[in-house]
């Protein structure tokens, strides 16, 4: 039996839960972790040579927390060392935590095998099956994902998917992530990515599932109802 650490002992005797802890508890219940693990099991390293890999359940949870908080690989490593609730969510101990390189390699592993969209679809399917995706209304939004201006692709050339754009008085280089969110539960049901210089309106049709009674967006979506693919919609505002 492992000896409990001071950090774990203090965590167990806390009188109040933080918003992060409440959020992670909710994600622990909502996300179909077993199904996600099965998706990656076939290709996940078995550790036959050298040090055994971290459990895929732990790395999936670390990856999700990185997405929840939009953390870089070094920042995710620091968070695991600093925050007990994140370690507990991942099922990790303070004396055995993945470093930033391990976190990076797992993310590349998911990208290499195209697991990003597959895992997202699995979560959405689970939520719909359990009646947790209401589908009555959607909020559409977009955010810029910045990248260093020196970013190159595998051929050594400037990645054509990344472009420069201006937001307010600042210039950004990178990509733009577009999301569709259930307007009641706040759960993301659709994602699309474009170069940063693509206007918010352009991929909106990919963010709507078609069953909405209402669609909401900020000023970046003004005039959307004039586009051919949205002229039939009477619920866009």
**How crowded is the C-beta side of 178, counted as CA atoms within 13 Å?**
23
**Number of C-alpha atoms within 13 angstroms, CB side, residue 135?**
13
d(CA 205, CA 15): 46
Residue ranges, the chain, pLDDT below 50: 1
Q: What's residue 231's pLDDT?
A: 62
Say what the pLDDT of residue 88 is. 94
What tens digit of pLDDT does each residue of 72-121 get?
899 999 999 999 999 999 999 998 999 999 999 999 999 888 888 888 88
β 170-182/188-195 pair status: antiparallel
pLDDT at 134: 61
Model pLDDT, residue 103: 94
Question: What pLDDT was estimated at residue 202?
Answer: 85
pTM above 0.75, yes or no: no
- Residue spans per domain, the chain: 6-122, 134-230
């Amino acid at each position: 039996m492992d000896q409990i650490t001071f950090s774990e002992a203090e965590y167990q005797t806390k009188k109040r839960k933080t918003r992060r802890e409440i959020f992670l508890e909710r994600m622990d219940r909502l996300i179909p972790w077993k199904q996600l693990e099965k998706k990656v099991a076939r290709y996940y390293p078995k550790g036959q040579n050298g040090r055994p890999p971290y459990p895929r359940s732990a790395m999936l949870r670390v990856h999700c927390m990185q997405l929840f908080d939009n953390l870089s690989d070094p920042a995710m490593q620091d968070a695991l060392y600093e925050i007990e609730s994140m370690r507990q969510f991942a099922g990790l101990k303070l004396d055995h935590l993945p470093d930033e390189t391990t976190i990076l390699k797992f993310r590349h592993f998911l990208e290499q095998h195209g697991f990003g969209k597959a895992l997202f679809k699995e979560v959405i399917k689970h939520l719909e099956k359990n009646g947790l995706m209401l589908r009555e209304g959607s909020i559409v939004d977009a955010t810029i994902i910045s990248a260093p201006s020196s970013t190159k692709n595998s051929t050594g050339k400037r990645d054509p998917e990344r472009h420069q754009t201006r937001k307010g008085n600042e210039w950004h280089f990178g990509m733009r992530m577009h999301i569709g969110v259930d307007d009641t539960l706040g759960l993301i049901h659709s994602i699309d990515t474009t170069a940063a210089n693509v206007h918010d309106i352009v991929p909106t049709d990919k963010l709507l599932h078609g069953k909405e009674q209402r669609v909401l967006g900020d000023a970046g979506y003004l005039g959307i109802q004039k586009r051919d693919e949205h002229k039939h919609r009477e619920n866009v505002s």
